[in-house]
Chains A and B, each alone.
Chain A
Amino acid sequence: MSHIVNRQRNILDFALSSLLRRKGKNLGLVAVYTLVVFALASVMFFAQALKKEASLVLSATPELIVQKMVAGRHDLIPLSYAEKIKGIRGVGAVEGRLWGYYYDPLVRANYTLLVNDKYALPEKTIAVGAGIARVRNAFRGSTVNFQSYDGKPMLFQVRGVLSQESELLSSDLILISAADFRQLFGFPADYATDLTVQVRNKKEMATVAAKIQQIFPDTRPILRDEIMRTYEAVFDWRAGIIIVVLLGALLAFLIFAWDKAAGLSAEERREIGILKAIGWETSDVLQLKFWEGLTVSLTAFLLGTILAYVHVFLAAAPLFSTVIKGWSILYPNFRLTPFLSAFQITVLFFFTVVPYTVATIIPSWRAATIDPDQAMRT
Chain B
Amino acid sequence: MRKSSIFITFILGCTLALGLAFLDAHFQTAGDLPLLRQKIKVVETLKLTDLCLATEARHTRHPSQSDWHSPFQSHPGALDHFPSGAIIQPPETIIKGYEPHRQ
Contacts and interface: CB of A to CB of B under 8 A. Distances in A.
A261 interface: no
A222 B65 contact: yes
Given A112-B61, A234-B91, A60 B43 contact: yes
A116 B44 CA distance: 11
B55 A330 contact: yes
B83 interface: yes
B103 A206 contact: yes
Interface size class of A (residues with CB under 8 A): 35 or more
B29 A338 contact: yes
Contact of A324 (B35, B68, B84, B89): B84
Where chain B touches its partner, the secondary structure class is helix
A374 interface: no
6 closest Cβ contacts across the A-B interface? A326-B84, A338-B25, A302-B14, A60-B44, A210-B101, A16-B3
Interface of A: 9-10, 12-13, 16-17, 20, 50, 53-54, 56-62, 65, 67, 69, 72-74, 97, 101, 109-112, 114, 116, 118-119, 129, 131, 163, 165-173, 175, 194, 196, 206-207, 209-213, 220-222, 226-227, 229-231, 233-234, 239-242, 295, 298-299, 302-303, 305-306, 309-310, 313, 323-332, 337-340
6 contacts: A13-B2, A13-B4, A60-B43, A302-B15, A309-B18, A328-B55
Given A242-B87, A309-B18, 11 more contacts: A12-B7, A57-B36, A74-B66, A168-B53, A171-B55, A206-B102, A206-B103, A229-B92, A306-B17, A325-B54, A327-B84
Interface of B: 2-4, 7-8, 10-11, 14-15, 17-18, 21-22, 24-25, 28-29, 32, 35-36, 38-58, 60-70, 81-89, 91-94, 96-98, 100-103
